Structure 1
Amino acid sequence: MFRSTKIISIKDTIVFMLFVFALGSCVFGQSELEGYLKLAAEKNPGLKGKFNDYMAAMEKVPQVGSLPDPTVAFGYFIQPVETRVGPQEWRFNLAQSFPWFGLLNAREDVATELANAKFEEFENSKSNLFFEVKTAYYNYYFIEKAIGITQENIEILKIFKNLSLVKIEAGNASVVDELRVELELNDLENQLALFRDMKYALQVKFNNLLNTDAQDPIAIPEVLWQDGLPEGQLDIVDEIYTSNHQLKAIEHRLNAFVNQEVVAKKEGMPKFNVGLSYTIVGENPLSTAADNGEDAFLFPSVGISIPLYRKKYRAMVKEAQYLQEGEMLKKEDKKNSLNTIYENTSKDFNDGDRRIALNKRQSEIAKKVLDILITSYSTDSKDFEEVLRIERQLLQYELAYQKALTDKNAAVAFIYYLLGN
């Protein structure tokens, strides 16, 4: 009794250690992926370009919110005009135009909302970059696993081949068994070469997303973790409608065009002009006036610009209204599109979940069947074709299991992209 208990204890310890190792590998992989995401956010040139677009849009705000430049005019009297205090020789004019009340603030509001739309486009690009990095990382993991699984199956087939050769030499099997193994080996060798080519292509793609050297190695976990859908959200679709950066960008553009209508109306209001004139007067040698030769100020001057031609201002208002309507329709269309995309992605997530369970169960069954068939073939040389068929199925189940893991995580990553995370 004591010995049996000790054996069970050792077995439980081994299982626990394997579980801790797998969990630690998953945590390691998630930590590595977070580091890659941070690196991509810092170094990806496309994302930097989007941020510069936003910064450039922000510089538009002080441009449109400033008063028009003042006008300075200089005049020289070719034929001086005689006055009581002397001849007028030079004249300087300074004029400043002032738009209707609130126009500059309304222009700033337009520019600010358009800049905010640029920022949401930047945030959407960042979310999309994170999704691409995650997807490339998962695909690279799958290819690494596919290469390992294929290599293991090649080794198994080589054992089958040696077993068939032994039985052929003993006269207990046909040379056809060896040839069948050769066919399977050739297919797997070709598949392995394809996987290796795909691995390099994915490595280059992943490192290009991070803007690092294409040859840099990629650290992946021994076992890929399984991501879940966001928690604490009653309706993910409603959350998408609230948080999606594309919808937010449309909202900001809509607000910009609402303010643009205000700008158009204020553009059609009068503008004011305030001026100041300064005239330089020369001395009159024949004048005995006490203020002979003293300069004279002529100020102030006030003017008003009346927009009489109303057609263009009405057109500016209608333009802003059409743009508002267009953005509202785009928003509705985008919401419908996001709803469809989410439902398809949710389907992919559920399908991945089912395929994970299915292929894991099928792999376990196929391994048992394969063990039985190998034992049977070793004793009576029957069912060799069935052995190869089950071995091929086992390979497919193992690959399908790893692919289901990556597909499920990719679906979660895309949902987080839709949520703007």
Structure 2
Amino acid sequence: MKNESIHIKIVLALGSCFLSLFANAQQLETLINEALENNPEIQKFELQYKRVSEKVNEVNTIPNTEFGVGYFVSEPETRTGAQRFKVSAKQMLPWFGTISSREDYVTALADAKYEDIVIAKRKLMASVSQSYYNLYTNQAKQQILRDNIKLLETYETMALTSVEVGKASAVDVLRLQMRQNDLQQLKDVLQQQFLAEQTNFNNLLNRKNDVVVNVVDSLTIPMEDFEINTENLSVHPELVKFDKLYQSVEKSELLNQKENSPMIGFGLDYINVEERQDMNFSDNGKDIVMPMVSVSIPIFNKKYKSISKQNELEQQEINYQKQERLNSLITVLDKAINDRISARISNNTATKNLKQAKDAEQILIKSYETGTIDFNDVLDIQELQLKFQMNQIESIKTYYVQSVIINYLIQ
């Protein structure tokens, strides 16, 4: 049986793998630890594991001892006297090794249930991390919108000045104001989405919904990706669970063979005999004590043959389920790896485009100084700049979310 403290250390080690992706989010480690301690789903699986483990004590028993008492309504006469009542006791014992086979079977079930804890903790760590990155992305986009609104306010001031000297129309000012309204609307919507995601995050940690979650100010994609060892996928807990289930069926079949064996019973009958008053001889009124041995043989054992066939079919089913799940995990891993590569490409492109958009913005500013600014161009450049900034944030989020998925699968 695994040691729970060792398991917790392993989980925390996995958490450090998530944190190795960036240097400025040490608080995420604390949040993950809090989730592992307080999440009700984890507590549910731990209780299920303890409950199944407790069944070892349940099966470590022998059949009930049978006691019987009988009273002779019509007392049969014997040479030594009339029989008055009878007391009997009987104990059946399972075949040698049956009880230990039961314990092995229940222990195997507990081992399989233990993998549910490991899987649930991995999934929880991934969910907390993904929700954290969603909050970061939302917050970063809101900051970008605030910056762009301020930029448009600057352009509006420039447009008003141009209107006064007859180099721009009031329509240009209205366009800039309408664009500010659109960005303010997007920011307000993002704020509501942030609150919803914050509720989801707090629920993962099993705490009040209105607890404020503070995330890092900025994230960048590291220069190099961490090494991916795809061979680790074969020992993923979701696959190990199928191995444990397969072993539990093996133990079930061993138990079935033991229960198909005879049962031995030992008993004792005591019959009370009344003394004869009309005669005087040796053994007059002597009670009867009769030890007994019995054997229970499963002659009609079709039941056990059926169980053996069921166990064989279940093992085949588990093998197919494992292969199916392995194929799914391979697909998910391959997609995560390629999506992460795509995120890096998108980030590099967005960075280049953003630099060029800022260069175009500087050209427009210089044009304003010479009195030749076109505010339609201003709105076009501002819209492109916002698009590139949003794309950059999304690519960073995608990179880290896919990294979380990769870590879930191979660490």
Match of 2:233 among 222, 228, 240: 240
From the superposition, tell whether residues 384 and 78 of structure 1 become closer, same or farther in structure 2 (CA, over 3 Å).
Answer: same
In the superposition, the TM-score normalised over structure 1's length comes to 0.86
RMSD of aligned Cα (Å): 2.1
Instruction: Tell me the SS of whatever aligns to 2:72.
Output: strand
AA aligned opposite 1:239:
N
Aligned position for 1:297: 289
Partners of 1:308 and 1:341 lie apart in 2 by 52
Partners of 1:356 and 1:331 lie apart in 2 by 37
1:115-126 mapped onto 2 (5 Å cutoff): 115-126=110-121
From the superposition, tell whether residues 68 and 416 of structure 1 become closer, same or farther in structure 2 (CA, over 3 Å).
Answer: farther
Aligned position for 1:352: 343
AA aligned opposite 2:316:
E
Instruction: Tell me the SS of whatever aligns to 2:213.
Output: coil
Partners of 1:122 and 1:407 lie apart in 2 by 28
Partners of 2:254 and 2:82 lie apart in 1 by 50
1:1-400 mapped onto 2 (5 Å cutoff): 27-29=23-25, 31-83=26-78, 86-224=81-219, 226=221, 231=227, 235-236=229-230, 238-242=231-235, 244-286=236-278, 288-289=280-281, 295-299=287-291, 301-400=292-391
Greater shift, 139-148 or 351-360, is seen at 351-360
From the superposition, tell whether residues 144 and 78 of structure 1 become closer, same or farther in structure 2 (CA, over 3 Å).
Answer: same
Greater shift, 201-210 or 70-79, is seen at 70-79
From the superposition, tell whether residues 57 and 385 of structure 1 become closer, same or farther in structure 2 (CA, over 3 Å).
Answer: same
Distance apart, 1:290 and its partner CA: 6.2
On the 8 A contact 1:85/1:287 being kept in 2, the answer is no
Partners of 2:64 and 2:71 lie apart in 1 by 23
Unaligned runs of 5+ in 1: 1-25
On the 8 A contact 1:374/1:387 being kept in 2, the answer is no
Unaligned runs of 5+ in 2: 1-21
Aligned position for 1:414: 405
Instruction: Tell me the SS of whatever aligns to 2:298.
Output: coil
Greater shift, 52-61 or 184-193, is seen at 52-61
Partners of 1:258 and 1:215 lie apart in 2 by 50
Distance apart, 1:230 and its partner CA: 5.2
From the superposition, tell whether residues 344 and 85 of structure 1 become closer, same or farther in structure 2 (CA, over 3 Å).
Answer: same
Instruction: Give CA deviations for 1:177-212 in whole Å, capped at 9, x if unaligned.
Output: 112212311210110111001010011000011010
Partners of 2:172 and 2:304 lie apart in 1 by 88
On the 8 A contact 2:339/2:398 being kept in 1, the answer is yes
Instruction: Give CA deviations for 1:66-92 in whole Å, capped at 9, x if unaligned.
Output: 222222222222233445554433322
Aligned position for 1:18: none
Partners of 1:359 and 1:284 lie apart in 2 by 114
Identity, % of aligned pairs? 29
On the 8 A contact 2:75/2:84 being kept in 1, the answer is yes
On the 8 A contact 2:221/2:344 being kept in 1, the answer is no
Partners of 1:99 and 1:326 lie apart in 2 by 31
Aligned length: 389
Partners of 2:279 and 2:374 lie apart in 1 by 134
Distance apart, 1:50 and its partner CA: 1.5
On the 8 A contact 1:229/1:412 being kept in 2, the answer is no
On the 8 A contact 1:72/1:95 being kept in 2, the answer is yes
Distance apart, 1:292 and its partner CA: 5.1
Distance apart, 1:63 and its partner CA: 2.2
Distance apart, 1:287 and its partner CA: 5.2
Greater shift, 87-96 or 186-195, is seen at 87-96
AA aligned opposite 2:232:
E
Instruction: Give CA deviations for 1:284-335 in whole Å, capped at 9, x if unaligned.
Output: 4445456655644211x11111212132221111000000000011111111
On the 8 A contact 1:346/1:411 being kept in 2, the answer is yes
On the 8 A contact 2:145/2:187 being kept in 1, the answer is yes
Instruction: Tell me the SS of whatever aligns to 1:78.
Output: coil
Partners of 2:379 and 2:220 lie apart in 1 by 31
